[in-house]
Structures are given as C-alpha cells and as structure tokens.
Structure 1
Amino acid sequence: MNRKMLFRLINDLVMTVLMLIAMAYYITGNRIHEVIGVVVLVLFIVHNFLNRRWYKAILKGKHTFRRILQIGLNLLFLVAMILMMICGILISSDIFPFIPITNDMTFRQLHVQTAYWGFIIMAVHIGLSWGMIINSVRRMSRITDISPIRTITLRILAVLIVAYGVHSSFEEEMGTKLFIYNPFGWFNDDSTIRFLIDHLSIMGIYIAGTHYALKFISRQEQKEAPRTSGGLKG
C-alpha cells in the first residue's frame, strides 16, 4: 500500500472515531465536544481535498446504478456535514463565542438532526467502499491467500455485529433521534467505551447491509449480461 492510500485510511478512520465521540455530548461535555468538532472539520476538509478528483469526474464516464447511488450518497453526506458544521460554529459557546446569535434553537436542531443523519449516511458511504477498504487492508497486511475458514469467521462476526447493532439501535432510540429533536438532549448512563461499541455496531448494520446488497446486485448484473449479449447476437 502506498503512503497516500495509508494516509487516507488513517485520516478517515480518525475522523469516523472522532465523529462518534462528538456524538457523545452528554459524556464529553460542551468544550471537548467543540474541540473535537473543529478537528473533525479539519479532517473533513483534508478528506475532500484528497478526493478532489472525484468531484471533477462526477459527470464523466458511465453512470451505473452503483455509481449513481454513490454520487447521490456522497453529495448528501457532504450537505449534511456542511450544515452540521456551520450550525455548530454558529451555536458555539466556547471556541466561537463571539458570533452573535439571538435565537439559536433552529441552528441547534439542524446541528443535531444533521449529525444523526450524517452518521447513517457515513455508514452507508463506508459500505459502498468496504470492498476497497478490505483489499487495501489485505495488501497492507500482505494477506494474499483465500481462506474459507477466515471468510466464514468474518461473516459470522459480521452477523454478530449486525445483531448487536439492531439491539443497540433500539436501545439508543436511533429511529426517534433521526426524526424528533429533543431540546433537552438524550441522556444515557453509558460509558464512552460502551457508547463507541454500541454506535460502531449500529454503523455495522448499514456497512454490512450496503456491502452485501451491492454484491448481490453485481451478481445479478453478471447473470443478466450473458443473456443480454446472447439476445443481441441473435
């Protein structure tokens, strides 16, 4: 793996973990939340700078179902992140207290709601690139062989993560948080580690779901391809 790809993976991994920690507002407190938010903003700018060629190529090439889905989700994630960060800066009381905001309730609601939606979209975004991520990790760890035992073990692990993620999703009331804003906050007695485990498992639902859904679609397209080409020849 080249250094640029390794740097991208590390940047994205750190940004993902910090975004999860930032969501644990009731654990970290406001000041740490804002500091982490600024770091995430910097990492997000770096992420988009490293992927700037992707924006130039949006309208180029063949637009398959997978590519259209990827473009749409990436743009949704971009909009959610921009709204979340702008609103976060406007309602800041520790790092940017000099910004005058008289009625910040609307900005607070936008900040919170876009954070939760961005969390889900980010997980789907990772799921779209999961195959590439796995291949990069395999190259980095120099794993070249195909092991049925390893494959089965990883799939069992994925099922367990998804199962626990479904449980955590209900425990954390994720469905409610996506559509209902609570101005008093959502308070749980979780530790930071428990919070991270629960939310990483929730991400696992969307990562695994997106990854295997795309694999299924790819297989269906491969099955349809010979029929189509055969029909054209006839």
Structure 2
Amino acid sequence: MNPKVLFRLVNDLVMTVLMLIAMAYYITGNMVHEVIGVVVLLLFIVHNFLNRRWYKSIFKGKYNMRRILQIAINLLFLVTMVLMMISAMLISSDLFPFIPINNDMVLRQIHVQTAYWGFIIMAVHIGFSWGMILNSVRRMTGITGTSRIRTIALRILSVLIVVYGVHASFEGEMGSKLFIYNPFGWSYDVTTIRFLIDNLSIMGIYIFGTHYALKFIQKQDKRAEQTI
C-alpha cells in the first residue's frame, strides 16, 4: 500500500478512536479529556493538511448529488470541529487556565453540543469514504477476489450493529444530547468497554446508512443516464 495512504488511514483511525475516548468525560476525568482534545486537534489539522487539495477543487468540475452532499458534510464537520475546539480552550481548567472567562455556561453548552453533533457528522463523513476504506483494507489483507458468503456475512453484521446502535441511541439519550444541554450530566452509567461498544454501534448507524444511501443514489443516477 502507498505509504501516504496508510499514514492517512492511521491518522484518521487514531483521531476517531481518541474522539470516542474524549466523549467519555465522566470516565476519563477532565485532565485526560483535555490532553486527548489537544491531540485530536493536532490530528485534525494534519487530516486537513493532507486533504488540502480537496478545498482547492470545491469550485471545480461537475456537481452531482453525491458531491454536493459530501461538500456540505465536510464543511459542516469543519465548522463543528472549529467551534468545539475554540470553546474547549476557552473553558479549559487544566491546560489553558490562564484564559479569563467570567461566564462560561454558554461556551460549555456550545462545546458539549458541537461535540455530539461532531460525533454524528464524523460518522457520516466516514460513510462517504467507507467504500475507499474497505478497498484499502482489502489491499492490506491481500483479499482480491469476491465472495458471496463474505458479502452476506458482512451485511448481516452491519444490520446487527445498526440494530444495537439504535438501541444504544435510545438508552444513552442521544437525541436529547443533540438538542438539549444538561449541565448536570447525563444518567448513563456504563463501563468503559460498554461505552466504546455503544458509541461505535451508534457510529455504525450513520456510516452504513450513508454508505448504502450513496449506493442507492448512484444506481438512480445511472438509471437516469440510461433513460436519456
């Protein structure tokens, strides 16, 4: 595999895992949360630097439904991450305590809710690249041929992840977290492993949903081209 592609995959994987850990604030504590946040910020800057050509190509070429949606999601993810990081530094009590903020309640609300929205948008963002990620994994593992059994097994696994993710979304009150700020924290007392499994499953809803929705859109585009 191309070393640059491998580096991108590793950078994005580490960033995703650390963002999940950062969300476990009541498990890790504030200091660990802030340190992880700084690392995520650095990895996010690297991610954008490696994909800087994408920004230059926004106003070039033809636009179809997939490209319009991808540009919207990418820019929304960028704005969400910037707001989350700026608000994080302003309310920091361990790494950046020298920044004077008198009333940080609004900033805390912005930080918490952009974090949850960023989590969902990140999953959709990954969903747009899921086909490329799967192809990269196939090349890394030496899988070249197709297998109907493997395809069926992976689709069944995807369905199970989505079903559990929906259950975890309701149990973890994800809908409320996206629209309501709770300064006293959310009553979702689980172990670290359970927290990671639940949130990975919730991510799975949006990753697989985006991936298969794009496949459907591509099929519709092809049919429309054939009828012209």
- The corresponding residue for 1:146 is 146
Cα deviation digits, residues 87-106 of structure 1 (max 9, x gap):
00000000000111011001
| Deviation (angstroms), 1:137 | 0.8
Count of residue correspondences: 228
The one-letter code matched in structure 2 to 1:227 is T
- The corresponding residue for 1:232 is none
Query: How do residues 17-36 of structure 1 correspond to structure 2 at under 5 angstroms?
Result: 17-36=17-36
Cα deviation digits, residues 111-166 of structure 1 (max 9, x gap):
00000000000000001110111111111111100000000000000000000000
Query: How do residues 1-234 of structure 1 correspond to structure 2 at under 5 angstroms?
Result: 1-228=1-228
Q: Secondary structure at the match of 1:99?
A: coil
Q: CA contact under 8 A between 1:113 and 1:178: conserved in structure 2?
A: yes
**TM-score (normalised: structure 2):** 0.99
The one-letter code matched in structure 2 to 1:167 is H
Once residues 58 and 226 of structure 2 are traced to their aligned partners in structure 1, the CA distance between those partners, rounded to angstroms, is 29
4+ aligned runs moved over 4 Å, structure 1: none
RMSD: 0.6
Once residues 41 and 192 of structure 1 are traced to their aligned partners in structure 2, the CA distance between those partners, rounded to angstroms, is 23
**Runs of 5+ consecutive residues of structure 1 not aligned to the other structure:** 229-234
Q: CA contact under 8 A between 1:124 and 1:206: conserved in structure 2?
A: yes
Q: CA contact under 8 A between 1:26 and 1:187: conserved in structure 2?
A: no
**Runs of 5+ consecutive residues of structure 2 not aligned to the other structure:** none
**TM-score (normalised: structure 1):** 0.96
Report the identity percentage. Answer: 77
| Deviation (angstroms), 1:188 | 2.3
| Deviation (angstroms), 1:191 | 1.2
Q: CA contact under 8 A between 1:83 and 1:111: conserved in structure 2?
A: yes
Q: Secondary structure at the match of 2:182?
A: coil
